[in-house]
Amino acid sequence: MTPSAPALNPPVRILMGPGPSDIHPRVLQAIAKPTVGHLDPYYLELMNNMRVLMQGVFRTKNEMTLAVSGTGSAGMEAAVVNIIEPGDSMIVCVNGVFGGRMVDVATRAGANVTKVEKPWGEVFSPADLKDAIAKAKPKVVGIVMAETSTGAWQPIEEISKLVHDAGALLLVDAVTSLGGVPVEVDKWNIDVIYSGTQKCLSCPPGLAPVSFGPKAMEIVLGRTSKVQSWYLDLTMLAKYWGSERVYHHTAPINMTYALYEALQIVHEEGLEACFTRHMLNHKALKAGLAALGITYTAAAGHQLPMLNAVRIPQGVDDVAIRGGLLKRFGIEIGGGLGDFKGQVWRIGLMGYGSRANNVYVLLSALEQLLAEQGHKFDHGASVAAAAGVYSSVK
């Protein structure tokens, strides 16, 4: 008997959650182009060109810049397991879910992990790490630049100096930040960094851009034990991405097309213009939410423009609002995780999704749903406040 299943017909959504983000139409077209083999000369040349594009968004000259086959979490694992050997000391900064995830990954790799913790929504200063670094004498310090669970934007440069003065490597999670705010791998002396495709690059999830600097590669090539993961072993991946082209695994060909096109789009717009666009739409949304009495979880000056984590107003039903946005308006936003569950909404303005029309549509829909729950505000005020931000730009 032939099994029966409904036809594939996904709904059209406006993706304004913590990821994935709306996919640019050009990227959707790219992913549907004819598949070639993973050792086809065309594909190998595409890998070379995509490396250059990734180096551009990371702002690095690192030769070992590549796309790991897997999501951003695979990027995290690749970053950790290649430089950590059993017994190594690692400090991980934890101020949200993804710092906690890095602890788990490092522990599984055999690291002796020291957690340095801050309240959710706060960021780290060098003073927060100084004593822990002096005591633990870590091989690696890991930190999340854009904590997706809290919307906190972590400064990197001063912490990088502290870490390197202590002789350690700096490992940075840039899953949500890449393409939305400046990421300066060479200028900030970041040794290992990883990201994902589904946030500000507006590409489907499935690849993880990573970059390993010279000191990190010395560690990788000088290991005394095998990398914990065969699939993510950089010594083998490097032979596939390098001039040898030694077969390692069948790469996701069409996802490579998608990422290549997504990176092209970012570079066509220009990185600085891209950052400016993200910040403008963030400011408009922030003004609109303020008119509704909605505040941010992260402190001013440390609020991510692409991931707006805001406190749910008292007396408002979290699930009803998010459900109403999805069912009645086709808009997805994210709920809180961990310590913020039921207390926070996470609103994404990432990549192609960071557009003025998305800001207006969300604010209008929120006004209607909040009014139905009896939340008090001046009707139309949020849209007017956002418009005021946009009209102030010359």
Tally of domains in the chain:
2
Q: Which of 245, 268, 291 is the last residue before a domain boundary?
A: 268
Instruction: Give yes or no: residues 362 and 307 share one domain.
Output: yes
Q: Is the pLDDT of residue 360 over 70?
A: yes
Amino acid, res. 334: G
pLDDT surpassing 90 at residue 242: no
Q: Domain with 309 in it: what CATH number?
A: 3.90.1150.10
Residue 298 included in any domain: yes
In whole angstroms, how far apart are CA 197 and each of 23, 174, 210, 257, 390? Answer: 10, 11, 11, 12, 28
Mean pLDDT of 195-202: 97
pLDDT number for residue 247: 85
Tell me: do 180 and 322 sit in the same domain: no
Residue finishing a domain among 268, 288, 308? 268
Q: What average pLDDT does the segment 129-150 reach? A: 97
In a domain, 175, yes or no: yes
Same domain, 162 and 279: no
Pair 89, 208 in one domain: yes
Domain end call among 219, 244, 268:
268
Same domain membership, residue 260 and residue 280? no
Q: Chain-wide mean pLDDT for the chain?
A: 96
Asked if residue 3 has pLDDT above 90, the reply is no
- Dihedral class, residue 298 (left if φ above 0, else alpha if ψ from -120 to 50, else beta): beta
| 233 lies in the same domain as 314 | no
* pLDDT classification of 294: cutoffs 50, 70, 90: very high
123 and 201 in one domain? yes
Domain membership flag for residue 64: yes
Q: Are residues 366 and 234 in the same domain?
A: no
Predicted confidence at residue 375, as pLDDT, reads 95
Range of the domain at 37: 25-268
Q: Stretch 91-97: mean pLDDT, rounded?
A: 97
Tell me: do 208 and 321 sit in the same domain.
no
Q: Do both 76 and 158 map to the same domain?
A: yes
Report residue 282's pLDDT band, with 50, 70 and 90 as the boundaries: very high
* CB-side neighbour CA atoms (13 Å) of 62: 30
- Residue 118: CATH number of its domain: 3.40.640.10
Beta partners for residue 311, in sequence order: 344
Lowest mean pLDDT of 168-177, 239-248, 313-322, name the range.
239-248
Q: Does residue 7 fall inside a structural domain?
A: no
* Residue 343 placed within a domain: yes
Q: Give mean pLDDT, residues 189-217.
A: 98
Split at pLDDT 50, 70, 90, the class of 1 is low
Residues 208 and 292 in one domain: no
19 domain residue, yes or no: no
- Shared-domain flag, residues 136 and 169: yes
The answer to whether residue 265 scores a pLDDT higher than 80 is yes
